[in-house]
A and B are shown apart, each in its own frame.
Chain A
Amino acid sequence: MLWWLLLSHGFGVLLAALSGWRRGMRAGLTVASAAPLATTIWAVDRLVSGTDPETTEVVWVAGLDLVLRFRTDTVALLMTVLVSGIGVLVFAYGTAYFGADAAGRARFPATLLAFSASMLGLVLADSIWTLFVFWELTSITSFLLVGYNSTSDAVMDAARRALMITAGGGLILMVGLLVLAEEAGTSVISEFGAVDGPAASVAAALIMVGAATKSAQIPFHVWLPGAMAAPTPVSAYLHSATMVKAGVFVIAVFGPVFSGNDLWTALGLAFGISSMLWGAIGALRHDDAKLILAWSTVSQLGLMVTLLSLRTPKGVFAAVSILVAHALFKAALFVVVGEIDVRTGTRRITELGGLAISMPIAAAVAIAAGASMAGIPPLLGFAAKEAAVEAALGLEGPMFIVAGLSVIVGAVLTVAYTTRLLIGLLGPGPDVTVAPNRPLLAIPSMALAGAGLLGYLFIDPVNELVVPAAVELDPSADAYALHRWPGPTLGLAVSMVVIVCGLILGTILARRTLAIPRPVGADVADRWLDAIPIVSRTIIGRVQHGSLPIYLATMATVVSLAAAPFALSLPADRIVLWDDPLQAVLAAVIVAVAVAGMFVGSRLGAALTLGAVGICVSGVYILYGAPDLALTQLLVETVVVVGFVLGLGHLARRFPDSPNTWRTIRIGVSLAVGTGVASALAVAGSQPAGQPPIDDLVRLAADDGGGENVVNVILTDIRALDTLGEITVLVVVALGIVALANVRRSEMTT
């Protein structure tokens, strides 16, 4: 079944591109939503029926452990429901968000579905290779979607920066996974046992850093606000509900493996706490509603990372609950902000106001989703936030107490920025003209926000989804469940204080923008990222300077350096000058022609002398009884001469005068490469090589290949796969030349 679903995503990408191209963006997005819809139904069914995890795999190279392997455990299924379920809603929303004739109508639906498929592969992955491949695929599709249909430099920079950080983080993750696999002796994720020791610490640090880049944890968060340049469906889907959760997902999955590792915990807490607090402050510093949501995502992801790093089953359970609740309310908020943007033309809370009256449905959705984010009943966010507060209380050890306090402070700030956002959007303020409603814009946001409300009212089904996933990560988490009303506990009292403090703070800060300067750290990160393209451009400028003589001289020098060790180990006693006097004659001719070539002043003449050298060399092959080689050499020389005649037409007939120093360098390099290659050949030829398997090859060629020319049978039958590889290289070279020549042609005609 899993294969069918993955295949249907693959076909869906093609069909979505096709129907988008033929019938427009709406048709493309509608077609694209089919595969995620089927996947959602399948995953919910499996989760509710409690079927045992099922593993499927395709072995690619068994010896190298290269296996495409998937496993449907409860965490993976829960993530699948989020990825595909929210995917369906986002596709539906996209049909209304974009005009029917929007640009990129074939590319956009296809890329969005390709992202959905990559994300699905990532959460279901059960081998480190599978995980890595799909991880990087999500980075690439995210890059394509952020930069979608924009020619502005700022957007391109944002897309490139997101790619550099997330794909670079993917490489770090890969190294960590490799170290871990080496240590654990398996590459199958579900078979990892707890590991310990220095290698495990290295793996833990690398995996944590890799996950932090994807989940936009400080200091890697700098890509997320920039990625808000993407269209709203992309922001809602990738940059709040799913892709940024990939890091949290990896931290959750590998948590049991590193449960005893202090470095893992310390790094997780450092990333989590700083992101949670600084992200929340960031949300108070901006007045673009979408940026507020982006910073709040950084903060919420930090909360999840912190909870996962608490090392308690309560923390794991709370993190999974927040993950689900956050996906619902944050996607809803993004969708509403997108709707506001489409209908009013602005997203700045300083320019908006009174939407409670002019856009009642959007306002209701915003209040429901915002209250869920702030953790106010009766919404799913309240139950999840209760679990988080419970997990933050009663911790031991200074590091964990700081973490617990930070969770509570973060909760206050969350209520504050939510209040500020809602007052900014809905409260009294400047009047804006509002374009008429489009039903499909509202339906997905109502569904997402409504899910938060229904999830609270019918909390038992939610527990059926959340608890098994938490138990999968930590078996003792089965003692916990989400509650509609926890009763008179310390946690509830703390929550009430948090809400009141947050409301007061948010009301004070409403209609104001915190003027906290950017910290030094953020600028440093920015400068580093800006430096990467500059440095690479400088290096390329130095290395690829475009002077052919210098390229040639460099290559020749490297060759002669590589050949130098051979020249030193030349066995003088084993050198045979010739087997046949004719060879000596030919060699003398070759040397004579080559020396004569040095004194030829015309370019064409020099080319012809070179050709003569080549033809004499093919004579040597004949003397050794290698007609195939001689034939090929002869033909290549012919073609090369034709090439010279064609190419030399553009140059002066005679060689230009060159300064003496350059001439000396060239003579030196030529002598070095000549001696080096000659002695390397002499050494190689004088090594005892044993009996070549020529008789076997002749028999094999005659019996299996049906031919008497052994060389040809080797090329076309015995080692045909090698030949296929070689001609593929030839094809690539040919296409490259054609492309380069076309560039020159168009330059010449314009």
Chain B
Amino acid sequence: MIRKRSPMTRISVRLVTPPALLIGLYLLFAGHNNPGGGFAAGLVFGAVVMLRNLAEIEAPRHARKLVALGLLGAVAVAAIPALSGGVLFDQVIGEVEVPVLGKVKGGSALPFDIAVAAIVVGLVVALLDGLAATGGLGRNTRRPMEPNR
């Protein structure tokens, strides 16, 4: 296999990162009204993280923390309405005036979607990183990787 990543790979992954992250964010926030949602956004973010790992730009970190925080967040979204006298997952919808964007409508489904995204990112990273670790290429024994150049 390719032992050393070529500069082309590195540079193209670096170039792709910001637009990919933007697409992920768009999917996350637009999901309520247009195609997208937390799961899709999580996949995009996860793929970005793993591409950067593949191109040896940076090693994934915090996967477990993301998973834990995501689940905590999801449970919180479920439990907060119940604890304040409603039912589980009771939606609160409100409108906020945001400069530039104008009136933005949002509900408690958004934090739930963000939690889903966090868990999916963590899962993707754990899955792919686990795949990479369980062989013998030795790339994972070199972490943490060299700082960005």
A residues neighboring B (CB under 8 Å): 627-628, 631-632, 635-636, 638-639, 642-643, 645-651, 653, 704-709, 711-713, 715-717, 720-721, 723-724, 727-728, 730-731, 733-735, 737-738, 740-741, 744-745, 748-749
Contact = CB atoms under 8 A, between A and B. Distances in A.
Contacts of A712: 31-32, 36-37, 109, 113
B129 A741 contact: yes
B71 A646 contact: no
Nearest to A644: B131
Contacts of A721: 78, 88-89
- B50, B91, B130: most-surrounded residue (chain A CB, <10 A): B130
B19 interface: no
B20 to A, nearest CB: 10
Q: Chain B at the A interface: mostly helix, strand, loop or mixed?
A: helix
B33 interface: yes
B67 A731 contact: yes
Contacts, number: 174
B101 interface: no
Given A720-B112, A734-B67, A749-B141, A740 B134 contact: yes
Contact of A646 (B36, B64, B74, B131): B131
A717 B34 contact: no
B59 interface: no
B123 A717 contact: no
Contacts of B68: 731
B110 to A, nearest CB: 8
Contacts of B44: 635
Given A712-B31, A724-B74, A727-B71, A642 B132 contact: no
B135 interface: yes
Given A646-B131, A653-B1, A635 B123 contact: no
A2 to B, nearest CB: 25
A143 B27 CA distance: 51
Contact of A631 (B35, B53, B78, B134): B35
Given A632-B40, A734-B63, A734-B127, A709 B47 contact: no
Nearest to B78: A724
Contacts of B133: 741, 744-745
Contacts of A740: 130, 134
B119 interface: yes
Contacts of B107: 705-707, 717
A740 B27 CA distance: 32
Contact of A649 (B1, B27, B40, B77): B1
A639 B135 contact: no
B75 A724 contact: yes
Interface of B: 1, 27, 31-40, 43-44, 46-47, 50-51, 53-54, 63-64, 67-68, 70-71, 74-75, 77-78, 88-89, 91, 93, 105, 107, 109, 112-113, 115-116, 119-120, 122-124, 126-137, 139-141
B47 A717 contact: no
B35 A717 contact: no
B136 A650 contact: yes
B109 A713 contact: yes
Contacts of A646: 50, 53-54, 128-129, 131-132
A748 B124 CA distance: 23
A715 B1 CA distance: 41
A638 B47 contact: yes
Contacts of A709: 31-37
Given A734-B63, A735-B64, A639 B46 contact: yes
Given A631-B40, A734-B126, 8 more contacts: A631-B36, A635-B43, A651-B135, A712-B32, A713-B32, A716-B37, A721-B89, A731-B67
Given A711-B37, A728-B71, A706 B93 contact: yes
Nearest to A733: B123
Most buried by B among A628, A642, A648: A642
A648 B1 contact: yes
Contacts of B71: 727-728, 731
Nearest to A706: B93
Contact of A645 (B54, B105, B140): B54
B147 to A, nearest CB: 22
Contacts of A638: 43, 47
B73 to A, nearest CB: 10
A738 B64 contact: yes
A734 B119 contact: yes
Nearest to A635: B43
6 contacts: A631-B27, A638-B47, A709-B35, A713-B32, A727-B115, A734-B64
A647 B134 CA distance: 8
B35 A741 contact: no
B48 to A, nearest CB: 10
A414 B126 CA distance: 63
B140 to A, nearest CB: 7
B54 to A, nearest CB: 6
A735 B71 CA distance: 12
B130 A741 contact: yes
Nearest to A639: B47
Contacts of B127: 643, 734, 737
Given A631-B35, A704-B91, A717-B89, A738 B40 contact: no
